[in-house]
Amino acid sequence: MWQERENSSVGYNEEMFGEPSSPVQQEPEQEPPRPRAAAGDAQALLARQLAPGERLLWSGSPKKLHGPRGAGKLFAVFFLGFACFWELMALQTLTAGAGVFGIVFPLFGIPFILVGIKLLFPQVGGPKPEEIVYAVTDQRVLVVTRGRVSSWELDSVQGVEKRYYPDGTGDLILSNGQVETYYRNGHTHHRNITMEFSGLADVDAAEAALRSR
């Protein structure tokens, strides 16, 4: 009877019946989460854009952001000058006691002055150089700025243009063969769609990475 009690106390064991124990199921390894990037952290945001197997060939930020050139600069100077002239005339009506119109006219000119400043100095109020990152991978070209990412497939790049400045910096202008149509002053205009790497300290290095794919 004691022997029966001892046998009854023995727990179930698969080895007693010759049954193989079931293998322990291992959970699949999960890819570690990529760090979340703030809107201004362009380098971290660029790292999040790279697909598995995508290789970074070159990356850089602007050394200096330049304003418009040639006819664009002339138009910006003319626009800002006219806006300042309008504001000066409007302020004279205010001092002359023109009533309500004397108050409205100076306010009406302020937005035009701001637009003129932005045309002549595009870096004012815009992203800082450290908030912009340009990149060339073995698959794409990318521009990351203030939480916004633009990218083209390398095969879509059809034209490459370089622009040099006296201070040694340069711009790399890429085109994909597409044309944008827009209307201004009742006329139809066309312009090429481009992606620009602006104010690079070594624009030749960026172009070399682009052509080394």
Per-residue pLDDT tens over the stretch 53-75: 999 999 999 987 766 565 666 77
Residue 183 belongs to domain with CATH number: 2.30.29.30
Which amino acid, residue 185? Answer: N
136 shares its domain with 206: yes
Q: How far apart are CA 120 and CA 72, in angstroms?
A: 9
* Residue where one domain finishes, among candidates 89, 120, 151: 120
146 shares its domain with 195: yes
CB atoms within 10 A of CB 78: 12
| 16 within domain boundaries | no
| 20 within domain boundaries | no
114 shares its domain with 143: no
- What is the per-residue pLDDT for 100? 63
Name the residue with tokens 């854009």. 49
- What is the per-residue pLDDT for 211? 86
- What is the per-residue pLDDT for 68? 58
- What is the per-residue pLDDT for 9? 41
132 shares its domain with 155: yes
59 shares its domain with 141: yes
pLDDT for residue 94 is more than 90: no
Q: How far apart are CA 165 and CA 63, in angstroms?
A: 12
Kindly provide the b/e burial profile for residues 113-131, where b requires at least 16 CB atoms within 10 angstroms of the residue's own CB.
Answer: beebbebbbebeeebeeeb
Q: What is the pLDDT of residues 5-48, one digit of tens each?
A: 444 444 444 444 444 444 445 554 554 444 444 445 888 899 99
pLDDT, averaged across the chain: 75
| 30 within domain boundaries | no
pLDDT for residue 127 is more than 60: yes
113 shares its domain with 158: no
57 shares its domain with 110: no
| 187 within domain boundaries | yes
| 89 within domain boundaries | yes
Least confident of 33-47, 136-150, 191-205: 33-47
- What is the per-residue pLDDT for 102? 62
Q: Is the separation of the CB atoms in 73 and 164 below 8 Å? A: no
**Which residues form the domain of 170?**
42-66+128-211
Name, of 38-42, 60-64, 90-94, 181-185, the range with top average pLDDT. 60-64
pTM as predicted = 0.60
135 shares its domain with 206: yes
**CA nearest 154: which of 142, 140, 143, 172?**
140
| 21 within domain boundaries | no
pLDDT confidence band for 111 (50 / 70 / 90) = confident
Percent of the chain with pLDDT over 70: 66
Q: How far apart are CA 22 and CA 173, in angstroms?
A: 62
150 shares its domain with 200: yes
103 shares its domain with 143: no
User: What's the total number of domains in the chain?
Assistant: 2
59 shares its domain with 132: yes
| 12 within domain boundaries | no
| 35 within domain boundaries | no
Q: How far apart are CA 79 and CA 73, in angstroms?
A: 10
173 shares its domain with 111: no
* Residue where one domain finishes, among candidates 120, 139, 156: 120
